[in-house]
Amino acid sequence: MGVSVSLLLIAVGAILTWAVSADTSGVDLQTVGVILMIVGAAGILLSLVFWSSWGGFGTRRRAVESGPGGTTVREERVD
């Protein structure tokens, strides 16, 4: 789930929680809205955590050297 889907879930959850005043039998729309907002917030946090671990913050340099001993790959993180 990406940041855009998470923001969509938060927006739909906020609409259900604060803007919809319909009464339905068996389903509490305000509770569904709160659940959607919590799932959206968790999705944003997870996206940011995975983004930073994959190099979203900072830059990585990769150098590949081929020689008689084989191929060597060096990675360097530049902040």
The pTM score is 0.65
32 vs 68, residue with greater confidence = 32
- Number of separate domains in the chain: 1
pLDDT at 38: 97
Residue identified by tokens 């259900």 is: 16
Please state, rounded to an integer, the average pLDDT across all residues of the chain: 84
pLDDT at 77: 66
Q: What is the mean pLDDT of residues 33-43?
A: 96
Alpha helices, DSSP H only, in the chain?
3-14, 29-53
Angle at 37 between CA 32 and CA 42, to 5 degrees: 125
**Which among 71, 9, 76 is positioned nearest to 40, based on CA atoms?**
9
pLDDT at 6: 95
Q: What residues make up the domain containing 15?
A: 3-78
Q: What is the mean pLDDT of residues 44-67?
A: 74
